[in-house]
Amino acid sequence: MSMEEINEQQNTPVSYTEENIRHLSDMEHVRTRPGMYIGRLGDGSQAEDGIYVLLKEVVDNCIDEFKMGAGKRIDIQMEDNLRVSVRDYGRGIPLGSLVDAVSMLNTGGKYDTKAFKKSVGLNGVGAKAVNALSSRFVARSVRDGQMREAIFTQGNLISDTTSSTDEENGTYIFFEPDNTLFLNYHFRPEFIETMLRNYTYLNTGLAIYYNGHRIISRNGLEDLLNDNMTSQGLYPIIHLKGEDIEIAFTHSPQYGEEYYSFVNGQHTTQGGTHQSAFKEHLARTIKEFFGKNMEFQDIRNGLVAAVAINVIEPTFESQTKIKLGSLTMAPEKDSDGNPYPLSGVSVNKFVGDFVKENVDNYLHKHADVAEVLLQKIQESEKERKAIAGVTKIARERAKKANLHNRKLRDCRIHLNDVKTGKKDDEDDPRAESSIFITEGDSASGSITKSRDVNTQAVFSLRGKPLNSFGLTKKVVYENEEFNLLQAALNIEDGLDGLRYNKVIVATDADVDGMHIRLLMMTFFLQFFPDLIKKGHVYILQTPLFRVRNRKKGVYETIYCYTDEERVAAIEKLGPNPEITRFKGLGEISPDEFRNFIGKDMRLEQVTLRKTDAVRELLEFYMGKNTMERQNFIIDNLVVEEDLITDNV
């Protein structure tokens, strides 16, 4: 075919007739476009995966009942990490509307602001999406001795019964996500427990029983900070509550800022107008209290804080409700035309007025806390000024070098967007972006040739990074590797500008590779702990072995990540297989590497909890070479004899 014929064929319009017009039912639409409703699918290995959104949508409805004073207990049962049941003891869905309430979009009780004044689920979508995306969905409502039960498969009603009962009023929902959509999914208990604890922090007095284990909070956001802080606060947590607002904060010895924000009990992981207002007004109030010419960044350095507000009919920037978009605390009028008390009051002013009055009063009454706070701010200011000259030079060097040399091979969605100033969300393709941090030309070359150039970037380290334990942040700017990495991630001023959703450390599976991992973790823990706490840091798992056998002229290949998998592969493939031990990432061909960094790549998320005793661990492993550590190494020394050679 000639070029003229090809061009003519490409320019010929596709037929567009009545047959191209389709009408989808509500359930069909959800199943066809799940991203519109839950953001992403996933397999449950990441906290933002869709199966947790499904659970959240169901629990949100129970929380709304509690907020309306109906039911102080929620029972949640997880079976085989595959299916879930949720039972509340609220008012129960009106029996005559049960089927419509869980299967018809834009149908629900929360459009009536008298019934649900400060609800999270306002759009009539949540339970319907769960129904449509489940292989089995059961909705049961009990009201005054009567129970109606509706059973669905993939959103299609298959049973609808009504009977008498002596059960307490409330709603029961069972769902099993559809494994044809959520491939190889499993719920991870740690993600669920974090979600449920957040619910109890925001709803003191609510008891959630998860597989029989009670989760409850008596002190709200103060409990949240105590449970999540990984270093000791410099002063007792300041915990203040008002009508429709609650804040808690302290300072820690760590670098950076750490925030937890909520709206109507919903964890807004990407912040929004309420979090921005809190950050601004807290810094401004502290500055005015001391009456000194302080920089906001010095005031907030080391801050660990939580803020929660209640908004009537909140507006979020996406269906998954992880960033507040509302500018006011309430619309002008309710459904009967009556004005709300906070009608027209901006979120910024509401939060600002509360912070200014209450934080200022607290500091005047607690001179000891104010003294510690002032000392922390002065230390931050002193360090910032000490590195000011180095910082300016380092920024310029990074700007010129980082995006135009072999250090960073960026992905296409960022090539013309160096500093976005935006936070990724599920409606933005950058939510899928990632950056591999690897060492050496061969490893970075293999990943670069294998990656998805649209969403995956590669940052190449030159040798082993510096051990940054115990050093000040000055080293981030003085050390070229750290300076360029910080600039590539765009995290100098915090996580709001983070350019990649996943920061993946990809090193060889040997002693040197493990050491580089440890050095990178030390760097992040020292200077950017929130990067880990917010779930952005991962370790890439690559296979240790390739086991293959030729059958009828075709190789059958199994990649093995552990020695146990290698043994199982040998048994499966039969006698005398060809076994290759991958000693480094550079030994894996680009064609093979493509299998390991695609949609099904194995990632181990790096987590950080209070019980991890980070400071003590870093001191032991990365601090001075003590006799205690030498004895530990001697007692735990293992000599690896590589009995597997290439092409055995």
Indicate whether 248 and 199 sit together in one domain.
no
* Per-state percent for the chain, helix, strand, coil, to nearest 5: 40, 20, 40
Alpha carbons 474 and 305: distance in angstroms, whole number = 25
Indicate whether 72 and 207 sit together in one domain.
yes
* Domain membership flag for residue 640: no
Q: Is 544 left (phi over 0), alpha (psi -120 to 50) or beta?
A: alpha
Indicate whether 188 and 227 sit together in one domain.
no
* Domain membership flag for residue 443: yes
Question: Structural domain of residue 75, as residue ranges?
Answer: 24-215
What average pLDDT does the segment 363-387 reach?
95
CB-facing half-sphere around the CA of 441: CA atoms within 13 A: 2
Give the domain CATH number at 63.
3.30.565.10
Indicate whether 269 and 187 sit together in one domain.
no
pLDDT band at 40 (very low <50, low <70, confident <90, very high): confident
What pLDDT, on a 0 to 100 scale, did the predictor assign at position 407? Answer: 82
| Residues contacting 246, CB < 8 A, separation 6+ | 220, 221, 239, 240, 306, 307, 308, 309
Average pLDDT of the chain is 84
Indicate whether 187 and 285 sit together in one domain.
no
> How many residues are present in the chain?
648
Strands 303-309 and 258-263: parallel
What is the model's pTM?
0.79
Between 321 and 100, name the one with better pLDDT: 100
Give the domain CATH number at 507.
3.40.50.670
Indicate whether 205 and 246 sit together in one domain.
no
Indicate whether 479 and 536 sit together in one domain.
yes
What pLDDT, on a 0 to 100 scale, did the predictor assign at position 6? Answer: 44
Phi, psi dihedral angles at 624 (to 5 degrees)? -65, 150
Residue range 541-557, pLDDT digits in tens: 888 899 999 876 788 99
Alpha carbons 459 and 481: distance in angstroms, whole number = 10
pLDDT band at 119 (very low <50, low <70, confident <90, very high): low
Alpha carbons 49 and 182: distance in angstroms, whole number = 9
pLDDT band at 236 (very low <50, low <70, confident <90, very high): very high
DSSP per-residue string spanning 398-427:
HHHHTTSSTTEE--HHHHT-S-------TT
One-letter amino acid at 46 equals Q
Q: Give me 544's structure tokens.
A: 């240790």
What pLDDT, on a 0 to 100 scale, did the predictor assign at position 482? Answer: 92
* Domain membership flag for residue 414: yes
Strands 502-506 and 537-541: parallel
Residue range 182-234, pLDDT digits in tens: 998 999 998 999 999 999 998 889 999 999 999 999 999 999 999 999 888 99
* Domain membership flag for residue 5: no
What average pLDDT does the segment 504-531 reach?
89
Alpha carbons 246 and 228: distance in angstroms, whole number = 17
Indicate whether 168 and 28 sit together in one domain.
yes
Residue range 556-580, pLDDT digits in tens: 999 998 889 999 999 999 888 999 9
Residue range 589-606, pLDDT digits in tens: 888 888 888 877 888 889
Domain boundary among 187, 215, 243: 215
* Domain membership flag for residue 552: no
Does residue 423 register a pLDDT over 50?
no
Indicate whether 337 and 195 sit together in one domain.
no
What average pLDDT does the segment 613-641 reach?
70
What pLDDT, on a 0 to 100 scale, did the predictor assign at position 193? Answer: 93
Indicate whether 95 and 146 sit together in one domain.
yes
Indicate whether 410 and 370 sit together in one domain.
no
In this prediction, what percent of the chain has a pLDDT beyond 90? 44
Tally the domains of the chain. 3
Indicate whether 516 and 458 sit together in one domain.
yes
Do residues 170 and 87 touch, judged by C-beta distance below 8 A? yes
* Domain membership flag for residue 331: yes
Alpha carbons 142 and 92: distance in angstroms, whole number = 6
* Domain membership flag for residue 9: no
Does residue 540 register a pLDDT over 70?
yes
One-letter amino acid at 568 equals A
- Nearest one of 194, 267, 188 to 227, comparing CA atoms: 194
Do residues 272 and 318 touch, judged by C-beta distance below 8 A? no
* Domain membership flag for residue 556: no
| Residues contacting 418, CB < 8 A, separation 6+ | 403, 490
Domain boundary among 215, 231, 247: 215
CA distances from 52 to 74, 290, 637 (A): 17, 44, 41
Alpha carbons 394 and 386: distance in angstroms, whole number = 14
Alpha carbons 274 and 315: distance in angstroms, whole number = 12
What pLDDT, on a 0 to 100 scale, did the predictor assign at position 425? Answer: 41
Does residue 117 register a pLDDT over 80?
no
